[in-house]
Amino acid sequence: MQSLSKLTEDEELFKQEIAKFSQSVIKPHVEEMDEKEQLKPEIIKQCFEMGLMGIEIPDQFGGANGSFFMSCLAIEEIARVDPAVSVFVDVQNTLVNNIFKRWATDAQKEKYFPRLAASDVGAFCLTEPNSGSDAFALQTKAEDKGSHWLLNGKKIFITNANEANIYIVFANIAPEKGYKGITAFLVEKSFPGFAVGKKEKKLGIRASSTCEVTLEGVEVPKENVIGQEGVGYKIAIETLNEGRIGIAAQMLGLARGAFEGAFQYAGERSQFGKPINKFQGVQFQIAELACQVEVIRLLVYNAARMKDQGLPFTKEAAMAKHLSSEIAEKVASASLEIYGGYGFIKEFPAEKFYRDAKIGKLYEGTSNLQLQTIFKLLEKER
């Protein structure tokens, strides 16, 4: 039986190509993008040219026809260099494209897949001011006007909102039914009444846009409902289960990037006449960090493989997301300390990895929600 952590030849080659792309194309601009709090347009363009924005989109629509596991490999390798670019690619693949792949009609796929593969960024619009962890307390409403739907509401913390042209918006068509009225709609930036609002200033992943989105009398064609009316809650839940593996892959890549930088620096930094990696205390610390990175790699790869094989993976996704975010923060912190005072300044990458790590415990389900999911599923297995 093949180890779940072992890559096939094609996967290894793919991973190497993404690593080269990240080092040569993304890395030179990381500091500038972080300072300016925006992705460079040429980076976005090159992500499309590399096929990174449509990894699982079928080749008949211009996609790479890859696997979910390959999406996670790409997310991991990019996050080693810049977690902000990584989450930009992550949302496109594990949330937006996955929804189209699983729930869109043939006509919707024919219309939107070529755009998502070649040029158009997508965004996932669920969170609202009063519905964070309780995502299904959303207030955005959709009224049936016969020839179209009329959407009104406000979304917050929407990743990729600035760059996107295609938005998957969750709204309630029957508030009296609670979550059973939630429906997913395809909304384009060009639709009158749709607007991207304030861009949040963040602690980390600053180049990734996180914005408000407002819908004021937005007319949405009837054919732009994704799935069926009233199944938006199911679409959102199942998509977020998949997306959590993507976030775990991001945290894995971040932990690797932080660790690898500290490991190299420990061989370069001298104290008391010798490199600090010659001191047993530092050796133990580095070895412990390496063990922790390997733990989350196995968790992430296992969850992604299970998803691709059609096996139940919700518990494994929650475990991977929870533990990867916990470990990434610890690895980033310890790695920063190995740099000594230099770890605290922007000339070295350690402080950015440390800032970027914190979001892992918060988005696409907080750590407490992952633990709650894990416990419930463990009880069912008894």
DSSP 24: I
Phi and psi at residue 89, in whole multiples of 5°? -70, -35
Nearest Cα neighbor of 321 from 356, 369, 355 is: 369
Q: Among 337, 347, 364, 381, which one carries the catalytic annotation?
A: 364
| Nearby residues of 345 by Cβ (< 8 Å), 6 or more positions away | 351
Q: Mark whether 110 is an active-site residue.
A: no
CA–CA distance, 358 with 327 (Å, rounded to integer):
11
Burial class (CB in 10 A: 0-12, 13-18, 19+), 282: middle
Give the angle 351-95-149 at the CA atoms, nearest 5°.
130
Pick left, alpha or beta for residue 110 (phi over 0 → left; psi -120 to 50 → alpha; otherwise beta). alpha
- Got the DSSP string for 236-301? HHHHHHHHHHHHHHHHHHHHHHHHHHHHHHHHH-EETTEEGGGSHHHHHHHHHHHHHHHHHHHHHH
List the beta bridge partners of residue 194: 215
Phi-psi map region of 310: left, alpha, beta (phi>0 left; psi -120 to 50 alpha): left
Token digits of residue 151: 């959407």
Which amino acids are annotated catalytic?
364
